Every structure is written in C-alpha cells, then in structure tokens.
Structure 1
Amino acid sequence: MPAASIRSICCIGAGYVGGPTMAVIADRCPTVQVTVVDINQTRIDAWNDSDLSKLPVYEPGLDAVVGRARGRNLHFSTAVDDAIAAADMVFISVNTPTKTKGLGAGQASDLRWVEACARQVAKSATGHTIVVEKSTLPVRTAEAVKAILSAKEQSSDGAQKSFAVLSNPEFLAEGTAIPDLESPDRVLIGGEHPEAIDALASIYENWVSPDRILRTNLWSSELSKLTANAFLAQRISSINSVGALCEATGADVREVARAIGTDSRIGSKFLQAGPGFGGSCFQKDILNLVYLCRHFGLPDVADYWESVVTVNTWQQHRIARTVVQKLFGTVTGKRLAILGFAFKADTNDTREAPAIRIAQDLLEEGAQLAIHDPKVDAEQIARDLKLPASSAPDADSGPTRAALSGEGTWWPSEDIAAAVSGADAVLILTEWQHYRDLDWSHLAPLMRQPAWVFDARSVVKPADVLKAGLQLWRVGEGQP
C-alpha cells in the first residue's frame, strides 16, 4: 500500500499509550482520520468529555493536543468493528500484563488481549490493512498475529483481504509523553513488507526527521523495546545499590552520581537514587526478557536480568524497614504521612508504583497512613493497596486503642497540612514539584515530636528541614 493512501487509522486501546500517541498523530497529520476505540465506555466518555481536565490519562500538554484535533480528525468510540473496517492501518495498543497464573506465571506476558485484537481485526478488516504492534510484546509475537490474520484473508462474502504486520514499539516516558512523541529520539519500525514500512514512516515524517526513523526486521524491533527498558531499569537498580553503600559509608549518592555521570561513556540520565522503578513497563519487560532467556536455554542470562528486579524490590522493602528502625523500632499505631502515590511525577499512573509496596509493608507493621497525591484518587489507592480507606482520625487524639492493636489503616488526604498533622513522620515517595517547595517551618509544628522526614526522592532542601527541628533521612546519604 503506497504511503499516500493512508487516510484512516484505527487504534485499539485508549490507555496511556494509545490515547496520547493517536492524539499527536492526529494533531500532526490533519488529513488522516484517527479513531481510538475501546470497549470501556467510561474511558471513551472521559476522552470525549468537553472538560479537557477530565481526560482519563493525565499528561502535561495532552489536553491542548486533544483540544486541537478532537472532532476534526481525532475520534474516540466504542464502535470497534466499524473503525477497523474503515481503517487502512490498525494499531494494537492494549495492555500486556505479566501472567499471574499458568505457564510462565510471574514472568511471561499475558497476550490474551493482543490475540483477541488480532482476531477482531481479521474478522472486521476490509481490503488491505496494515496492522501495527504498539503494545510491548515478547519477541516473535508477530508470528502469532500473522497466523491469525492469514487465516482470514478470504472473507465470508468472497472479498479479498490482505494484511501486513509491523512492529512499532513506543518509547514514551510517562509525565513527558507529549514532548517524547513530538520530538522523539527515534521511531522504530520493524517489518517484512517495505511498502508497509514506508507507509507508516510517511505518517511520522510529517513531523519527525527521516534520519530518526529506524527500520529493522520484526524480531529486532520487538526485542529492542524490551532491551531498552531493561537497560534503563538496570541503571536505576545499580544506583540504588550504590546508594545503600553510600548510607553505610558516609558517602552521598548524589555526589557519586554527578561524578560518574560526567563520564561521557556513562552519562547522567537514570542515575537518580530513589525508591525504585515503577510503571507499566520496566518490571514487566525485564521479567518478560527473563522468561524468554529461560525459554531459549540461557539461564545465566536470565538470572542476570532477574537480579535487576530483585534489587528494585529490595530497595522498597529497605525503605520501609528504615522508617520502622528510625521510629524506635515500631510504627504500630503511629501516624505517617505519605506524599505521592503515583509511580512518578506528572502522571496519575500507579502501576507498580514503589509507594504500593512501601505502604503495604508499613500497614503490615500497623501504621496509620495519611496518603496525599495530587492526581491519584482514593479509589485507585484502595485498589492498589487491596484495602478500603478508613475515616481520618482526630489528629490531636494520638494513637487509638484499635490502632495500637496492630491493625494498619489508611485514608486519603487532599491537603498536605492535614496529612502531616499529628504525624510522626513524612515519607516523600513521588517527586511532585510542589513537594519541593513545602514550608517545613509551617508543617513541623503540626507533627508529633520528635518527627522525621524520609525523603526517598531527594526533593527537599535539607537545611530547611533541619532548621524546622525535624530529623531527616535522604536516600543514599550517609552520615560522615
């Protein structure tokens, strides 16, 4: 199919990848009709809401992009079959979580929704359709997609169908998805059909320089996505392991990171010590890589990559243990304020957020948690913690008999001052900008003394915290 003939695009999946990606494509390609489909009516209604602040995905700048294109050539719908039938190109952008049971549980990707999409495309497509893998997929998933599509190349009414399958993995960082899409480091397209590759490249060439569009075979493209995330996650686990050593020896991980980051062979990115990586991709993709290595008879390679996830989990448990140790060995009945629940700033995504594991450890110790996040709602926190919210207790009453019995509870707080009132400690677990600018001289008198600030994101100004009479722990900072 010549590039010029792409006039209609359908994207199956209106989540964190599909929604922003299609919004930017529609914005930059005004002559192409772009329809994002999803079976979740509530999600589609949110994408169509006249109030752009209610979009189901929070990304800085996304509201403006959607506002320019929606209703012109960007559409959101639950009419999946109709959109597929009308499309020259169909993107598959559905969730591929780690399997929780069965063969490969805990490591392999659950591809049930990808297969369902492929079957729906096979059934509903008309004429020649380019099918683009946008979801993060294990290597050689395209084989399964191609097999499903090729079985339907003769439709029931005798009309001919044909398909070309491409891999076009996303390399977005949540919180910066719009600039990442508008000015990408690279666009990767893998496939076996040169005309199909050129057709997809022609879409991106509306705003991306051709020298940034990389062409590979299908398998290299699929593996490149997993490898990129594995390398980035590896850097995070590496600097966090060094941070623990810094705490033990009196070094400062920020100074170490600055020193090694100036080496041009290493670079400074992803060397910020913290509570570990989260989000929908890093852990899932590494575990997928581990599963593939074991499947192909490479157990030593699998063990190497699995250690990256092990260190990440260890870091989160370590932070929770540090809080307990600093608070006289117990947090039972004590009120702790958690600032930040999203896995990173500038997103409302909590998938694999470090705050989940840290909060669960503290709840198991009997802590009473006031949780504040500017973009994550209480219902999502309850789902992630697998524990319904309680009512906020009186901040001046101290630990109740029920609290001292060891039952951990939590409640949402829309106000930071309310969250820290009566608290023995504040934990900063997401690097939201306004946590950097807190007035500790105002907050400290609200807390129960002696009180601590546990800064897992290196966002506070230590002098301000100490001047306010609070004790401070910062990740990766040892005492001389």
Structure 2
Amino acid sequence: MRMVVLGLGYLGATHAACMAELGHEVLGVEVVPEKRDSLARGEVPFYEPELPELLKKHIDSGRLRVTGSYEEAADFAEVFFVAVGTPQKKGEYSADLRYVDAAIDQLVPLLTRDALILGKSTVPVGTAQRLSERVDELAKDLEVEIAWNPEFLREGYAVRDTLNPDRVVLGRFSGGRAELTCREIYGAILGADTPFLVTDPPTAELVKTSANAFLATKISFINAIAEVCDAAGADVKAIADAIGYDSRIGRKFLNAGLGFGGGCLPKDIRAFMARAGELGAAEALSFLREVDNVNMRRRTRMVELTREVCDGSLLGKRVAVLGCAFKPESDDVRDSPALNVAGQIQLQGASVTVYDPRAMDNSRRLFPTLDYAASAVDACDSADAILVLTEWPEFIDLDPILLGAIVRHKNVIDGRMCLFEDQWIANGWSYRK
C-alpha cells in the first residue's frame, strides 16, 4: 500500500521506516531542510538503535522516499499519517497543536481524491473531532476521514515497539474505512496475534494519555516512598523488589531515583491536566499535579545531596555528571533531569563536567556553559563528587579503583540506583543514592 508520513522526527521517521519494512511504499514529508536532507541520504539525525540500518535499507531500495512537498504527498497516496510534534505551550500546561493543525491545513486543500488521515501524534482528547470538522470545511466534495492510531513507542526501543507492539489501537468514527485500511496496513503485525482495539476517537486519544499518566504516577509513587525511606532509614530498592512480585503491581517502572523526563511524560501529563480542566473534570486528575511535583523534587534533592557530600557548599567544587540524556539508549535531552541537575549545580558555584555516550551534541546546544569531557574517566578527573544520572551500561561498569586514583574526593551519588553499591563502598567510596 502507498502511504505518507507527515513529520519525520523520532516518531515519524521510525514509523515511516517500519511501514517500509512491512512492505508498504512510503513517502515521508519533512519541512526542516537539514533534517530532510539527512534522512534522504539514509542518515538518522538523532540516536535510535536499529533505525539507521532500517532507514538506509529502505532509502536504498526506493521503498521509502523523503520530500518537503505537500503537493507531492497529496498526489502520492490516499493514506496519511500525522506524526508531527505536540510540545507543551510556553507558559502553559496545555499542548501546542499548531503543527498538527498546520499539517491538516496544508494537506487537505491539495487532495484530489478521497483519503484517510490517521493521527499518530499524542493529542488532547477531542482533537480528532475538531480536526474532522476542519477537514469537512477544507475537503469540499471529497470524503476525507480522520481517525486516531496512537503510538506507544519507547525511545531506545522504537523500532521494536513499532514492529512488535503490545497492541494496536484505532479510534474511528462510524461509517468510514479506517478499520479495514488499518487491518491491511498492519496485516503482518495483527497476523502475529497482536491485540487490535477498535474504538471511538476520544477513547483512542485517552488510551495514550492515560498510559503515560499511569507510568508517570508509578515512577513518582516509588520516588515518594524513597523520600519516606530517607527519613526512616529504609531501603527503597528492597521495597520495590518486594511489592513488584505482586502481579497487580509489577516491577517495571518501579525504580526510585532521579525521576522521569524526556519529550513525552512531563508534557503529556501536564496537557492531560489542562484538558481535564477544560472539560470541567480538573479534580479527577488533581493527583497528577503531585506526581509532577514529586518528580521535580527529585532533582532538587539531588542538588542538595551533592552540596551535602561537598561539605555543605558547592562553591569552587568540581562535580562530574555522568549522563545527559533523559534515559539510556537515547540522545534526547528534552526535559532531561540530568542536565537540569547539572545546570543547578553550576549555578551554585561548582565547576561541572558532563559526559554522555550519545547526547553530547544536543547537550551542548542546550547548556553551552557546562564543561564536556571526551570520556567518563576524563569527566571524573579531580572531581569532588561523581553523579551517575543516566544508567548507561558503561557507567554501571566503571571501575571504582581506577576512578579512586584520579578523583579529589571519593564521593559517588547513584542517581539511578544502578551501581554495585558494595563494590564502591569496599573500595573506600562514600556511596549515596
């Protein structure tokens, strides 16, 4: 089947390459020239495991092409995926839907035949209905259907999650062709017994935001328990292990530490709260405000803990921050807890040196005043404290004996509770978490 993917960021580029892998002929539309040129050469302008090989494979085969032209896109296919960004509005909690609206406004007037537009972007409930009404105004005598097919991708596992998803969700209005078309698009995936949930658009929109809200709540829950453990002298990891054996709870996303960040969870739970308020249901999601507060407190606590291990003052201290990305297997530094902490520590007078295996370039663009090292060992040279803030495997495998010979003081703070605590303590380190 021929199809178009509008927007080639993390979501769109992955979706386009994976649709080509499923055998479809795909045209990707990207309006940013630098990003478009990179993708057209088969080069991914961000880090996502497995995607570079998949993209290059299908650019070379001709099954996937990239353009900046909506005119070309309108002529190419009858199925269009909207995969543009929905960032948080500046100064507000609500989602900024300008890119979604622009994609519809640019595409629909150019259509010359009936079409199906499938939303992939994470949007507030009610967006599909609003866009459907807008499409009716723009489409003239054509039948242009809107439906929502939310994504559930984890950065670092996006290709795997697209080709082997836990479920496929479709929210469609009655009387259209969205369900039959999606069954054809995802035929190979559905043939592997992947659940296919067909519902109305508001429900599909809420499935995505509800999933993110639940994951954020689970992370902040265990971090709230960690605060109590700090006061009581208890072991939060042991608590997480114990309650994680309960099948009703589960162990995943129950790791205490610095908290969540990235381009999805923070802005999505805030947009969810904002939309609930618009619908008159603000009290129903009031707990998410505390979820957000707990998450942000973890960053403040990390700064305070660093000051504590540096004898009560950060002025003139040297601090190594290992990790810039908000999670391992990603170069995404949007709302990165690690960079937020690094910036706060620097503002309090410390000299901060940062290292990350993948996110250095993105970090430099956001925080050019921080110092950046060529390796984890270089970052730790003469440090008064080492902070492990992203759980990259190479940080977990660091040798405390080697580092002990180059630091100024043996202070390590395990912000992700990923290090082998006994090993560090046995080699004379002050270990905090």
For normalisation by structure 1, the TM-score amounts to: 0.87
Instruction: Determine helix, strand or coil for the equivalent of 1:348.
Output: coil
For residues 381-413 of structure 1, give each alpha carbon's deviation from its aligned partner in whole angstroms, at most 9, with x where no partner exists: 24433xx33xxxxxxxxxxxxxxxxxxxx2111
Pairing partner for 2:41 from 45, 49, 52: 49
Instruction: Determine helix, strand or coil for the equivalent of 2:189.
Output: coil
Which residue in 2 is equivalent to 1:426? 386
Pairing partner for 1:126 from 104, 107, 112: 112
- 1:386-401 equivalences under 5 Å are 388-389=368-369
Letter in 1 for 2:105: R
Task: Tell me the CA shift for residue 211 of structure 1.
Answer: 5.1
Which residue in 2 is equivalent to 1:190? 171
Asked whether the 8 Å contact 1:291–1:302 carries over to 2, the reply is no
Higher RCO (C-alpha under 8 Å, 6+ residues apart): 1
Asked whether the 8 Å contact 1:189–1:215 carries over to 2, the reply is yes
Task: Tell me the CA shift for residue 126 of structure 1.
Answer: 2.3
Which residue in 2 is equivalent to 1:397? none
Which residue in 2 is equivalent to 1:84? 74
Asked whether the 8 Å contact 2:381–2:406 carries over to 1, the reply is yes
Residue 169 (1) aligns with residue 150 (2): yes
- 1:436-455 equivalences under 5 Å are 436-449=396-409, 451-455=410-414
- 1:91-170 equivalences under 5 Å are 91-101=81-91, 105=92, 107-154=93-140, 160-170=141-151
Aligned length: 430
For residues 93-152 of structure 1, give each alpha carbon's deviation from its aligned partner in whole angstroms, at most 9, with x where no partner exists: 111111114xxx2x1111111111110111222201110111100001112211221112
Asked whether the 8 Å contact 2:119–2:150 carries over to 1, the reply is yes
Identity of aligned residues (%): 33
Instruction: Determine helix, strand or coil for the equivalent of 1:460.
Output: coil
Asked whether the 8 Å contact 1:86–1:125 carries over to 2, the reply is no
Which residue in 2 is equivalent to 1:343? 326
Which residue in 2 is equivalent to 1:178? 159
Which residue in 2 is equivalent to 1:334? 317
- 1:132-281 equivalences under 5 Å are 132-154=118-140, 160-192=141-173, 193-208=175-190, 209=192, 212-281=195-264
Asked whether the 8 Å contact 1:372–1:413 carries over to 2, the reply is yes
Residues in 2 aligned to 1:206 and 1:128: alpha-carbon distance in whole angstroms: 25
Which residue in 1 is equivalent to 2:29? 37
Instruction: Determine helix, strand or coil for the equivalent of 1:180.
Output: helix
Residues in 2 aligned to 1:91 and 1:71: alpha-carbon distance in whole angstroms: 22
Task: Tell me the CA shift for residue 358 of structure 1.
Answer: 1.0
Residue 26 (1) aligns with residue 20 (2): yes
Residues in 1 aligned to 2:276 and 2:128: alpha-carbon distance in whole angstroms: 18
Residues in 1 aligned to 2:6 and 2:279: alpha-carbon distance in whole angstroms: 31
Which residue in 2 is equivalent to 1:64? 53
For residues 318-349 of structure 1, give each alpha carbon's deviation from its aligned partner in whole angstroms, at most 9, with x where no partner exists: 11111112211111121111111100000111
Residue 366 (1) aligns with residue 360 (2): no
Mean Cα displacement is larger for which, 187-196 or 202-211?
A: 202-211
Residues in 1 aligned to 2:336 and 2:251: alpha-carbon distance in whole angstroms: 23
Instruction: Determine helix, strand or coil for the equivalent of 2:95.
Output: coil
Pairing partner for 1:12 from 3, 6, 16: 6
Mean Cα displacement is larger for which, 161-170 or 186-195?
A: 186-195
Asked whether the 8 Å contact 2:355–2:379 carries over to 1, the reply is yes
Structure 1 runs not aligned, ≥5 long: 1-6, 155-159, 390-409, 475-480
Residues in 2 aligned to 1:384 and 1:84: alpha-carbon distance in whole angstroms: 36
Residues in 1 aligned to 2:125 and 2:282: alpha-carbon distance in whole angstroms: 17
Instruction: Determine helix, strand or coil for the equivalent of 1:285.
Output: helix
Which residue in 2 is equivalent to 1:399? none
Asked whether the 8 Å contact 1:374–1:414 carries over to 2, the reply is no
Give the root-mean-square deviation of aligned CA atoms: 1.5
Which residue in 2 is equivalent to 1:394? none
Instruction: Determine helix, strand or coil for the equivalent of 1:127.
Output: coil
Which residue in 2 is equivalent to 1:466? 425
Residue 415 (1) aligns with residue 375 (2): yes
Instruction: Determine helix, strand or coil for the equivalent of 2:284.
Output: helix
For residues 28-81 of structure 1, give each alpha carbon's deviation from its aligned partner in whole angstroms, at most 9, with x where no partner exists: 12xx2101111111112222335xxx5113122112222332233111222232
Instruction: Determine helix, strand or coil for the equivalent of 1:84.
Output: helix
Report the CA distance shift for 1:459/1:170 in structure 2 as closer, same or farther (over 3 A). Answer: same
